Chain A
Amino acid sequence: MVATGYLFAAIFFLGGCAFVLGGLAFADTLNALLLKGRKRAASKFDTYESGEIPLGSAWVQYPLAFYIFALLFVAFDVDIVFILSWAVIFQQLGWFGFVEIVFFIAVLALGLVYAWRKGVIRWI
């Protein structure tokens, strides 16, 4: 069974995409026919960097610290999902649910304390 509401949303989404892409294609064609200069220059193929001249490639090695942050973020992001699903029904769950979530958060908090004390949270 497909929720028809979402189907409508999907159709609107596709329609929106088509509108924007079609408009762009139309404008580009118009541009190419009427306005665009015929001359090819090296500067036309540069990356546009708000007027700056781009330095080097965007493909560089990021420091390891980014990676650790991303990993910690994932760990606690998963945490959020569980807490959210608890929060929407915490009244029905009562004390048992409360103890459960506190236990869960406590375990993760120990992980956070550990990471903190090891100096992971500090920006290099």
Chain B
Amino acid sequence: MIFADISPFTYTPGATDWLRILPELILLGTGLLTLMADLVAAPGRKGWLALVGLAGVIGALVATVMLWAGGTYGDAFYGMVNDDRVALFASVVILFAVGVGLLFSPGYVERQGIVHAGEYYTLMILAALGMMLMSSASNLMMLFVGLEILSLALYILSAIVTTRRRSQEAGMKYFILSSFASAFLLYGMALTYGATGKTSLAGIRAFVTTHAFTMGSGFGPLLVVALGLMAVGFCFKVSAIPFQAWTPDVYVGAPTSVTAFMSVGTKVAAFVGLARVFLFALSPLRPTWEPVLWVVAVLTMIGGNLLAATQRDVKRMLAYSSVANAGYMMVAVATHTQASFQGLLIYLATYAAMNLGAFGVVLALERRDGQGTTLDDFAGLGRRNPALAALMALFMFALAGTPATAGFIGKWYVFYAAMRGAHVELAIIGLLASLVGVYYYLRVVWAIYFTEPATAPLLVTADESAPVHEPIASASATATGGVALAEPATATGIAMATRVLPAERAPVHLATWLGLALAGVLTLVLGIVPMLMVDWALAAAQTLVK
């Protein structure tokens, strides 16, 4: 290089660098392939694109496992990304989430009449790519680019049901609020760079370790402001209280298959990113950030569970439940020990299995107009569709934390680590909060097996099933109408429709069954024989938290 004598940038990537991001490369190739395949696919027959996507996801999964088995890991591309155990563990969970999300999609896309089916699959895969890049970033810059890729793809996916106003509203809300949070995060990163002169996480850690850190002088105040801004950004992305306001509306308005995927994938990417920044790079500043995350964890656990308990729409309840689960994961971050980070990874994996499954059942029951997910719709499901009912019961028991299911394992490792790591109070608050969780999860099981369908005619809005021609500006009006639907007595201006009989419900697509079965099996396996995953999580935790 001609500048070699004066420029620090003489780095040229070699074969190792490319090998280390092989899973991401496969995913990128698959995404671009589906984008091109969409152009030649006949309209209305785009289900096979999901197969192409699935093949890519499986390929990436194989590559990830090979990298794990290979045993060597390190930075690639000038310290931008790495393939350490944490990145690979997160990649496996993300790939599982996107794989199941893709399995859920063909039937759902068809039923909802999503016209942009080709883009849908491309965006799912590219969103997963962004999540993987974010969780394998070893540089703040890469962390942000990964976050932007996943966010941008998810904004579009949330709004992709162009004929339904609530979906458009979800996309709009997510976009505006989430870009705000991204700006906070970016500002925090810029100030971190100002204080340390580094963007690489290892460099920041080295700087913070070797330099005096006091509030009165030096780098203290600047890093404190940076920490606060980054905490806001991350807390928003993981939907922790008080930054949860967007979660219910976006999760309910977005297509259910997207909700299932993003509720899991975003959490994995954002929590691993949070762990990389707070538990690794800024670990020496623990006394400063720990109280903040402590408060956030407590607020999120209590608030999320109480809000979830008041919901009658199961999809909305699951949205608030994902807020509550963010609180449990935040406990693991606030505890900041190796065991707690291991607990966080375990929680992420188990949460992926059961939450994907729960949203999958909701998706199977959802009607064409986006309704049909309230507790009343679950009434008598045990007789109408025993298999679906049994799966939902399994996922609800798992989310409630019943032993012998995945949910118990996750909670056990997080709370046990909290107790060992001198945060007994967090563990106790968490346990009490999850008791509230037992109530609202098991209420669904109660509805499935011990109640009968209401005799009142089901209500269908006249305008929701028809294509929308009004501008988005009127979307908020519809949203209030949509909420009112849960209470038939207050719903006004709604056309009466004939009762939807069980037989008239759309049959569940074969791929959806497959996805549900996968999630169900994993929920049981992780609950009964978790040791293999626990070991992997420990191996991953050891690479990041010493």
Question: Which A residues lie at the B interface, using CB under 8 A?
Answer: 92, 96, 107, 110-111, 113-114, 117-118
Contact = CB atoms under 8 A, between A and B. Distances in A.
A102 to B, nearest CB: 14
Given A96-B12, A117-B39, A110 B32 contact: yes
Label chain A's interface by main secondary structure. helix
12 contacts: A92-B2, A92-B3, A107-B32, A110-B32, A110-B35, A110-B36, A113-B39, A114-B35, A114-B38, A114-B39, A117-B39, A118-B39
B6 interface: no
Interface in B1-55: 1-3, 12-13, 32, 35-36, 38-39
Interface of B: 1-3, 12-13, 32, 35-36, 38-39
Contact of B36 (A92, A96, A113): A113
A53 B39 CA distance: 48
B49 to A, nearest CB: 14
User: Which 3 residue pairs of A and B lie closest in terms of their CB atoms, listed nearest first?
Assistant: A117-B39, A92-B2, A96-B12
Contacts of A107: 32
Contacts of B32: 107, 110
Nearest to A117: B39
Contacts of B13: 96
Highest count of chain B CB atoms <10 Å: which of A92, A96, A107, A114? A114
Contacts of A118: 39
Contacts of B2: 92
A118 B39 CA distance: 8
Given A96-B12, A113-B39, A118-B39, 13 more contacts: A92-B1, A92-B2, A96-B13, A107-B32, A110-B32, A110-B35, A110-B36, A111-B35, A113-B36, A114-B35, A114-B38, A114-B39, A117-B39
Contacts of A113: 36, 39
B18 to A, nearest CB: 11
A82 to B, nearest CB: 14
B114 to A, nearest CB: 15
A50 B1 CA distance: 59
A114 B3 CA distance: 39
A64 to B, nearest CB: 11
Nearest to B13: A96
A49 B436 CA distance: 69
Contacts of B1: 92
